[in-house]
Structure 1
Amino acid sequence: MNVFAVEGLPEVRPGDDVAALIDEQVDLRPDDVVCVASTIVSKAEGRQADLDNYQAGERARSIAERVGAAAGEEKDPRFAQAVIDASDELLIDFPIMLAVTPFGHITVNAGIDRSNIPGADLLLLPESPGASARTLHERLDARVVVTDTSGRPFRYGQRGVALGWAGLPAARDWRGEHDREGKELTATVQAVVDELAATANLVTGEGDGGTPVAVIRDWEFGAHNGSDELFREPEDDIVRRALTAWEGAE
């Protein structure tokens, strides 16, 4: 497969037509996978916010005080309130705020960004990345993955992950296929949209690169069953249950 960043995109502002901006810069094919950073989707959808819009409640003030004391620096309780408001649930709130977003993604600080946001303090994740991906898919006539970067348990560093997708399944379901010895696979489900998001992140980069869109070309899903299961249900997530039990015992 070939992977390249889309050059020449302007700074995206509220109300901008992201599909049109992409279409102006690249000739897409129907089998391309267009990986679009959630930051520009959020900017176009008006998901910017200012800290002054948040009135910190008791829990937000407590979180900011505890985290600030551990870090040796003052933390703004309004930011803690922004995370609480953007979350369905906080699995833990110390030493980090690990949030469950309304669409099922679990990430630190509810994925709220504080960099590269002209004219605002905060940038929230898209309200429904799946719906955003479907709109882009229809407009661009190509497969789409809306991406973000996220940390990982047990490892240092961030990598690209998928928040929403359209035009392809989330995963290759290998269950029922066989290995080289003829043994049937019973558990392997490959999260291809995450792998595509991570691939895109290699060429879009971080910081001040200004290339929030990548195209993955000549990649095929293959003759596999597809699955759209990506975010684990609470009853199937042993790590989530353990964190909830640990938080409750604190």
Structure 2
Amino acid sequence: MNVFAVPGIPEVEPGDDIAELVEERIDLEPGDVLLVASTIVSKAEGRTANLAEFPASPRAEELADRLGEISGEEKDPRFAQAVLEESTEIIMEAPFLLTSTRFGHIGVNAGIDRSNTGDADLLLLPKRPNESADRIRSALSQDVPVVVTDTCGRPFRHGQRGVALGWAGMPASRDWRGERDRDGHELEVTVESVVDELASTANLVSGEGDDGLPVVVVRDWEFGNHEGSDNLFRAVDGDFVRQALRGWEFARD
């Protein structure tokens, strides 16, 4: 497959049409997958905010005080309040805030960004990334799948990688269960998260700093003759790591 960034995407403003910005710069082809960084989706949807919009509650004050004590740096309780308002659950309170967003993604600080925010203090994740992906896809002249991406850390490993927040026009996963390996054994548990794999692939060419390449095209890749699934975020009752973290307390050595 071929992977390349779309050059020349300008600074995105509220109300901008991402599909139009893309198609002004590239001709999409049947079979392409369009991957769009959540940063510009959020900007187009007006998801910037200032800390003054989040007066701190007692709970936010408590979280900020504890994090400040652990880190030795003063923490702004208004930021903690923003995280609270963008989350359905605080899974870990220390040494950082690990939260579940309203659309099911789990990440640090509800995915709120304090870089590449323009004139605002904060950049919030899209409210409903699947709907965002579908809007972009519907506005394209070529019918191609769209994936909204972000970067986040991973348990048990250093570093960040690209992940999918929302998608439209393709399943989230390839389901290999029921197929057979080279020895004829039936696969029983393998479900491949292709939207995450495509998001990580896009991240290799879009970069993380000031590259200014928030849109990537994957070309000549095929989903294949597999069953598909839209299950990406684990249900709470089957997420045993999440359940374990709920009962875990941070202890400083």
Scaled by the length of structure 2, what TM-score is found? 0.96
Q: Distance in 1 between matches of 2:14 and 2:171?
A: 29
Q: Distance in 1 between matches of 2:172 and 2:138?
A: 17
- In the alignment, structure 1 segments of 5+ residues that lack a partner are none
Q: Distance in 2 between matches of 1:80 and 1:32?
A: 39
1:122 maps to 2:153: no
Alpha-carbon deviations, 1:20-55, whole Å to 9, x = none?
Answer: 111111100131000000000000000000001111
SS in 1 for 2:24: helix
Q: What aligned pairs does 1:95-134 form with structure 2 within 5 A after superposition?
A: 95-134=95-134
Scaled by the length of structure 1, what TM-score is found? 0.98
Map of 1:94 onto structure 2: 94
Map of 1:16 onto structure 2: 16
Over the aligned positions, Cα root-mean-square deviation in angstroms equals 1.2
SS in 1 for 2:248: helix
- Give the percent of matched residue pairs that are identical in Structure 1 and Structure 2: 65
| Contact 2:37 2:149 (8 Å CA) reproduced | yes
| Contact 1:30 1:143 (8 Å CA) reproduced | no
**Residue type matched to 1:234 in 2?**
V
Runs of 4+ in structure 1 deviating by more than 6 angstroms, as ranges, are none
Q: CA deviation at 1:169?
A: 0.5
Map of 1:217 onto structure 2: 219
Q: Distance in 1 between matches of 2:230 and 2:183?
A: 28
**Residue type matched to 2:127 in 1?**
E
**Residue type matched to 1:50 in 2?**
N
**Residue type matched to 1:38 in 2?**
S
Number of aligned residue pairs: 249
Range that drifts further, 240-249 or 57-66: 240-249
Alpha-carbon deviations, 1:82-117, whole Å to 9, x = none?
Answer: 000000111111111011001000000000000111
Q: CA deviation at 1:248?
A: 11
Map of 2:176 onto structure 1: 174
| Contact 1:91 1:247 (8 Å CA) reproduced | no
Q: Distance in 2 between matches of 1:248 and 1:200?
A: 35
1:38 maps to 2:38: yes
- The one of 242, 246, 249 aligned to 2:248: 246
1:191 maps to 2:203: no
